[in-house]
Amino acid sequence: GENVEQHPSTLSVQEGDSAVIKCTYSDSASNYFPWYKQELGKRPQLIIDIRSNVGEKKDQRIAVTLNKTAKHFSLHITETQPEDSAVYFCAASNQAGTALIFGKGTTLSVSS
Amino acid sequence: DGGITQSPKYLFRKEGQNVTLSCEQNLNHDAMYWYRQDPGQGLRLIYYSQIVNDFQKGDIAEGYSVSREKKESFPLTVTSAQKNPTAFYLCASSIRVGSTEAFFGQGTRLTVV
């Protein structure tokens, strides 16, 4: 089945720096790639997503890039703030297009 | 927080007992999912349902069962056959299966003693 690898597992940055989280997926049939943010004790919430017909998408300080050939996609957060501290999950649609398969998560810590 | 509701938030059960976790949504979504979250393991898919009266096994279905008798409801039963049931369980729903945004409930933390 689909497998999603996410790196790094932990990431510490200074406020104002950029943060990059990378994911690879195994199934070339995957066509939807969302990113979720989970703050401590809360539910995961979608922050940005990208479909396979697009190479890059931006939303203010957040951007996602997709390389279909290499089967990897990345989350870029610029000008990080302490409130960006959370666990971030990437996901990819499975081969049948019936569910999302998640990476293991990245714990981002932004220190001021 | 409306939309998708899980109950209870915390659940304690004795080993060997079956337990059912509730998940209800009022978003009129066709698809519903159950994920298990363990530290360092991410979210692993247990079961999903595309429509009423239909459900499919995910990657870690052993020891779990589900039903989908109503569009709004997708309860998960953790049976005594599940070897390590203590975990955080998340229910989600989406307009349709797979390639659309999934909305998550607040989760149920199950502890088996």
pLDDT in tens, B59-107: 999 999 999 999 999 999 999 999 999 999 999 999 987 778 999 999 9
Confidence of residue A50 (pLDDT cuts 50, 70, 90): very high
Of B42, B56, B105, nearest to A89 by CB-CB distance is: B42
Of B98, B99, B104, nearest to A43 by CB-CB distance is: B104
Query: Which of B39, B46, B40, B42 has the alpha carbon at shortest distance from B92?
Result: B46
Query: Which of B42, B34, B109 has the alpha carbon at shortest distance from A99?
Result: B34
What is residue B23's predicted lDDT score, i.e. its pLDDT?
98
What is residue B40's predicted lDDT score, i.e. its pLDDT?
84
Q: What is the mean pLDDT of residues A63-82?
A: 97
% of chain B with per-residue pLDDT over 90: 86
Q: Which residue has the higher pLDDT, A110 or B16?
A: A110
Confidence of residue A98 (pLDDT cuts 50, 70, 90): confident
Residue of B nearest to A39 (CA): B106
Q: What is the mean pLDDT of residues A85-93?
A: 96
Which residues are paired to A20 by β-bridges? A76
Dihedrals φ, ψ of B49, to 5°? -135, 130
The 10s digit of each residue's pLDDT in B27-71 is 999 999 999 999 888 999 999 999 999 999 999 999 999 999 999
Confidence of residue B2 (pLDDT cuts 50, 70, 90): low
Q: What is the mean pLDDT of residues A17-43?
A: 95
CB pairs under 8 A between A and B: 62
What is residue A1's predicted lDDT score, i.e. its pLDDT?
74
Cβ-proximal residues to A18 (8 Å cutoff; 6+ apart), any chain: A76, A77, A78, A79, A80
User: A89 vs B43: CB contact, 8 Å cut-off?
Assistant: yes
The yes-or-no verdict on residue A97 having pLDDT over 60 is yes
Which residues are paired to B5 by β-bridges? B24
The yes-or-no verdict on residue A95 having pLDDT over 90 is no
**Where does residue A88 rank: exposed (0-12), middle (13-18), buried (19+ CB within 10 A)?**
buried
Using CA atoms, how far apart are residues A34 and A93, in angstroms rounded to an integer?
A: 9
User: A32 vs B40: CB contact, 8 Å cut-off?
Assistant: no
Which of these ranges, A1-10, A71-80, B20-29, B91-100, has the smallest mean pLDDT? B91-100
Terminal C-alpha separation, chain A: 41
Helix, strand, coil percentages for chain B (3-state, nearest 5): 0, 50, 50
